[in-house]
Amino acid sequence: MNDSSQVIHNVKKTATRVIQRYLGLLVEERCPDRESWIKEVERILEEACRRKGKESRHKVSYEAVIRQIEHIGLENVDMSSWDLTALRTIVLYIHPLEIWLPDAQYKLFVDIVNDKNYDSHESTNEPWEYVKPWSYEALDRIERFVESADGMLSRERYEDFSAASLKIIQETKDANREEFDEHFSLMRDLERQAKMEAHDIASSSDPLASYGAVFKKWLSRFPEDRHSSLLLWHKFNEALVSEGYTPAASNLAYAYYFGDDITPIDYSKAAYYFEIRGIENLLRDEKIQYAGLHLRGLIANASPSKGERILSDMECQSMNLCLAREHFYGRWIPRNYAKAATLYEASPTQRITPESNSPIMQAQDYANLASLYANGLVDGASPDKGRSLIEDLNRSLRGTNSTIETYQNEEGFTFYRVTRNEPIRFMG
C-alpha cells in the first residue's frame, strides 16, 4: 500500500469502527438478551437470502451479509462482524430491530458508506492534492455522524460513544498528518534537487549528454505514484527552461497540448513553450501541431498565414506524404482536400534505396487520393480518375490479404478504405 492509499485506508477504518460501534449500541438498547439477538440475526439472514434472489442489482451486497454469518456462525455475529458494504445493506434495506435512521443521520450515513474513495486504496494512488482535503472532509462527516447520535442513544451510552469516537477520529487525523508531512516534505526536497540538477545541466559543457543521463529519473520518480511523478517531471522541465535549456520546452508543450493527469489542455501555454523551443527546432509533429494552433484559431494571437507558412516550409520529398495525410485526416490541422491531393501526387512511391527508411505511398494513401478524385474534391481531376485509380489499386492488391471497401466520412463523402494497409508495388 502506498502513502496516499494509506490515508484513505485510515479514514475507511475509522468510519467502519465508528459505525460498527454505533449500530452495536443501538442493538444493545433494543435487544434485551443474546437469544433475542440471535433470532434477529436469523431474520437478517433470511431477508438477505430472499432479497438476493429478487434484487440482482444488490446481489453482491446481500452476499456480503450472508457470507459473514455463515463464516462465523449465528451465535457469534454482532455489528462489528460486518464491513461497511454489509452494514450499508443491513441498515438501508433490512432494518433489523426496526432501526430507521433520522433524515439528517441517514444522509450522513449514506455519504460515509457510499464514499467511492474507499475502493481506491487497494489498487490506485489518488493525487495527494486531492486526498488531503478529502480526508479532512470525510473525517468531519464522521464527526458530524457521531454528533447526530445524540438523542438516539441513552445519555450515558451516547457520552461514552462520543468520547471514544472523537478519540479515534483525532488519532486518525494525527496519523494522516504524519503521512502528509512526510510526503510534502519529500516533494519540497525533490523540487529543490530538480532545480539544482537543472542548473548543473544547463551550465555543463555538454547539456544534452547531461540531460540524457538523468531525465529518466525525473520522468518516473515514483513508479507507484503517477501524479507525484508527473508533478516532479514538470518542475524539472520548468527549471531547465528557466536555466536556458530550451529542448525541455518541448516536454512542457506536449503536456499542455495533450493534457495529462495534472495538466489540463492549454493551447496558449503549449504555443508558448513551442516558441521557447524555437519553431525551427521543433520536430515534425510539433511543427504541425503548432501550425494547427494558428490555423484553427486556438490561441489568442492566431495567425493563419503563419501556420500556412510553417507547413509550406516543411514541404519536401521526405515530408510530403506525412503532410498529405495530415491535410486529408485533419488530425492537428484543418482538412484541406485539395492540398492533400497535391501532396499525395508529389509523394514518393518507392524508396531511394532498399535499405532506406523513408516513407512511401501505401495502399491506403492511394485509396485516399482516389477518394478525393472520385468525389470531385480536386480541381481539374474528374471522378473517372478516382474510379480508374481504384481499379488499378484492386489489381495491385490481388494475391494479398488486403481488400478495398467504401465508407462514409463525417462530411458525408463516400471514401475508400483498405482493410489491411501495406506497401505495394503499384501497377497503375
> pLDDT tens digit string along 57-77?
888 889 989 999 999 998 999
How does residue 131 score in pLDDT terms, banded at 50, 70 and 90? confident
| CA-based nearest residue to 34, from 75, 70, 69, 72 | 75
Percent of the chain with pLDDT over 90: 64
Q: Does a structural domain hold residue 176?
A: yes
Cell of 273: 513553450
Last residue within a domain, chosen from 184, 212, 235: 184
Are 277 and 235 contacting, i.e. CB atoms less than 8 angstroms apart? Answer: no
The set of residues, in sequence order, having a beta carbon less than 8 Å from that of 239 and lying 6+ positions away, is: 194, 195, 197, 198, 199
Cell of 309: 507558412
How does residue 422 score in pLDDT terms, banded at 50, 70 and 90? low
Q: Which residue has the higher pLDDT, 337 or 348?
A: 337
Cell of 247: 529542448
State the sign of the Cα–Cα–Cα–Cα dihedral 121, 124, 128, 134. Answer: negative
Q: Does a structural domain hold residue 335?
A: yes
Q: Does a structural domain hold residue 216?
A: no
Helix, strand, coil shares, percent, the chain, to 5: 70, 5, 25
Cell of 227: 501524479
Q: Does a structural domain hold residue 66?
A: yes
| Cα(107)–Cα(145) distance, integer angstroms | 9
Give residue 1's pLDDT. 40
Cell of 239: 527549471
Give residue 97's pLDDT. 84
Q: Does a structural domain hold residue 219?
A: no
| Cα(104)–Cα(18) distance, integer angstroms | 17
- What is the pTM (predicted TM-score) of this model? 0.66
Q: Does a structural domain hold residue 326?
A: yes
Res 123 pLDDT > 60: no
Q: Does a structural domain hold residue 391?
A: yes
Residue 415: strand, helix, or coil:
strand
Mean pLDDT of 84-90: 90
The boundaries of the domain holding residue 51 are 3-184
**Integer-rounded Cα radius of gyration of the chain:** 33
Last residue within a domain, chosen from 144, 163, 184: 184
User: Is 179 in the same domain as 323?
Assistant: no
Q: Does a structural domain hold residue 362?
A: yes
How does residue 229 score in pLDDT terms, banded at 50, 70 and 90? confident
Percent of the chain with pLDDT over 70: 94
Can you list the pairs that 211-216 forms with residues at least 24 positions away whose Cβ atoms lie under 8 Å?
211/240, 211/245, 211/247, 211/248
Are 236 and 193 contacting, i.e. CB atoms less than 8 angstroms apart? Answer: no
Res 425 pLDDT > 60: no
Cell of 264: 489540463
Give residue 60's pLDDT. 87
Q: Model confidence over 184-219: pLDDT tens digits?
A: 888 899 999 999 999 999 999 999 999 988 888 888
Q: Model confidence over 136-179: pLDDT tens digits?
A: 999 999 999 999 999 999 999 999 999 999 999 999 999 999 88
Total of domains in the chain: 2
Last residue within a domain, chosen from 184, 208, 240: 184
| CA-based nearest residue to 8, from 115, 130, 131, 114 | 131
Amino acid at the residue 94:
I
Give residue 164's pLDDT. 96
Measured torsion, CA atoms of residues 40, 42, 48, 49, in degrees rounded to the nearest 10: -160
DSSP 98-139: G----HHHHHHHHHHHT-GGGGGGTT----HHHHHHHHHHHH
DSSP 363-404: HHHHHHHHHHHHTT-STT--HHHHHHHHHHHHHHHTTSS--E
| Cα(240)–Cα(210) distance, integer angstroms | 12
The set of residues, in sequence order, having a beta carbon less than 8 Å from that of 364 and lying 6+ positions away, is: 417, 418, 421
How does residue 348 score in pLDDT terms, banded at 50, 70 and 90? confident
In DSSP terms, 153 is beta-bridged to 150
